[in-house]
Amino acid sequence: MKKKNLVVIGTQWGDEGKGKIVDLLTEYASVVVRFQGGHNAGHTVIVGDKQTVLHLLPSGILHDQVLCVIGNGVVLSPDALLKEIDEVEAQGVSIGDRLKISSACQLILPYHVALDQAREGAKGDAKIGTTGRGIGPAYEDKVARRGVRLGELLNLDTVAERLREVMDYHNFVLQGYFHQPVLDYQQVLDGLAQRAPVLLSMMADVPSLLQQKMKDGASILFEGAQGSLLDIDHGTYPFVTSSNTAAGAAAIGTGIGPGDLGHILGITKAYTTRVGSGPFPTELFDEIGEHLGRVGAEFGATTGRARRCGWFDAVAMRRVCDLNGVDGLCITKLDVLDGLDSIKIAVAYKGCEELGGAVVGSDQYSQVEPVYEEMPGWHGNTSGVTDYDLLPANARAYIERLSEILGAPVDMISTGPERTETIILKKPFTD
């Protein structure tokens, strides 16, 4: 079979289980590339009795034969990255020269964090629900062309001049508008100078690196963070993240052509969850919602916040599948639905007929009412099942119905947190 690249993206509001799937698929890849987001994302990987939570490092880092790359679409916190490297290496993972970072990566600096937290604090109950880690302000500086990129650390004298100007601006906002303490310029500059040597030792021309790897026949896995419904353009704006999370961002965020992306694998839970504020049409506030949260251990890997839980939203998912050009689906956490008498799927919305398919990104989205299709549940155990034919008949019927509604085949099914607890119906990286 001809090898090809693979893009793994979340198709809901994040937390779909991408970390486990990327870790599993890395067995078939030579290179794993993170293409957007920052350390506001968290991927949990469980191997045996060991749990690893990754925020910036690509999930393939746990495989010692794999090259891991952080692309230019990522905003990079030097402190968070170096701390994560230390934590992973303390678990016995040797990173060595297996991590490469794009010279075009924008750096998250202390004033970005201060601004993020000041803004959220000022909004009170109207806050968006960011992690307060400086992601949004760093992307703002990137677009405003005043950000500091990794490659610029090669000339600290030039960085020092620009940093003073940028910090004068941000300190003015912090003090004059938010009434918060200003940050010390020299302290920020000294911190950059201290971290520059180790960061620069990992720097690479990522577009050239990936082109060469493809010429050498390598299979590349592109890993997204968050989920498509949090996309800055196509998500539930303004309750979104600050980057493009859709599959197309894998090309822009790494510097390769869209034609090189290959197979698009969309990861989706068998139900729906959301962290933070924003509309959520299928959210449940009853004992079933409590069941999903408790059995699914629905707490954010990065923030520890409890996730809001609800039925599967096929309306939003159909839009996401079209947006990403999804070639195949991986359904995760099927086992969380074990024991339910019936299961519902949102197949339409009331109150948005005039909006058409654009409702997901509209102001009116918070007012829609889901129309449900109900299916019988199952009382058999799906946890740890690795053979599709051994799933309860009603579980198979549910999966097949989701595939039918979404118009995309199911490539994989996750039945538990471990690598081995997976049903693979289509092998990755093959035509």
For residue range 56-74, what is the model confidence (pLDDT) as tens digits?
Answer: 999 888 888 899 999 999 9
Neighbours of 186 (CB within 10 A): 10
Dist. CA 220–CA 224, nearest whole Å: 13
Q: What is the reported pLDDT for 331?
A: 98
Q: Is the pLDDT of residue 246 over 70?
A: yes
d(C-alpha 328, C-alpha 407), whole Å: 9
pLDDT at position 1 is 40
E strand or H helix at 67, and its extent? strand 67-70
Chain segment 305-336, per-residue pLDDT in tens? 789 999 999 999 999 999 999 999 999 999 99
Query: In the chain, pLDDT over 90 holds for what percent of residues?
Result: 74
The angle, 0 to 180 degrees and rounded to 10, between the axes of the packed helices 156-176 and 110-123 is 20
The stretch 82-107 carries a mean pLDDT of 94
Asked whether the beta carbons of 66 and 98 are under 8 A apart, the reply is yes
3-state secondary structure of 84: helix
Three-state DSSP class for residue 6: strand
Q: Which of the four pLDDT bands, split at 50, 70 and 90, describes residue 132?
A: confident
What's the mean pLDDT in 355-363?
60
Residue that has been written with the tokens 């408790």 in this structure: 294
**What confidence score (pLDDT) does residue 170 get?**
97
Which conformational region is residue 267 in: left (phi greater than 0), alpha (psi within -120 to 50 degrees), or beta?
Answer: beta
Q: Phi/psi of residue 381, each to 5°?
A: -95, 125
Residue 17 one-letter amino acid: G
Helix (H) or strand (E) holding 210: helix 206-215
- Kindly tell me if the per-residue pLDDT of 394 is higher than 50: yes
State the Cα–Cα distance between residues 257 and 259, nearest whole angstrom: 5
Residue 189 exposed, middle or buried by CB count within 10 Å (0-12, 13-18, 19+): middle
Please answer whether residues 78 and 192 qualify as being in contact, where contact means their C-beta atoms are separated by less than 8 angstroms.
yes
pLDDT of residue 379: 93
What distance in Å separates the CA atoms of residue 321 and residue 265, rounded to the nearest whole number? 10
Mean pLDDT of 41-56: 71
Residue 43 annotated as catalytic: yes
Of the candidates 15, 116, 231, 327, the residue annotated as catalytic is 15
Say what the pTM is. Answer: 0.91
**pLDDT: which is higher, 355 or 345:** 345
Maximum mean pLDDT: which of 42-51, 86-95, 180-189: 180-189
The residues with which 51 forms a beta bridge, in sequence order, are 46
Average predicted confidence (pLDDT) for the chain: 91
Q: How confident is the model at residue 431 (pLDDT cuts 50, 70, 90)?
A: low
Contact 370, 349 (CB under 8 A): yes
Q: Which of 39, 43, 112, 170 is labelled catalytic?
A: 43
Q: Is 312 left (phi over 0), alpha (psi -120 to 50) or beta?
A: beta
CB environment 208-219: b (16+ within 10 A), e (fewer):
ebbeebbeeeeb
pLDDT of 4: 80
Of 91-100, 114-123, 192-201, give the range with the top mean pLDDT.
192-201
E strand or H helix at 13, and its extent? none
CA dihedral (424, 337, 315, 222) positive or negative: negative
Residue type, 126: A
252-281 per-position pLDDT tens digit: 999 999 999 999 999 999 999 998 888 999
Does residue 263 carry a catalytic annotation? Answer: no
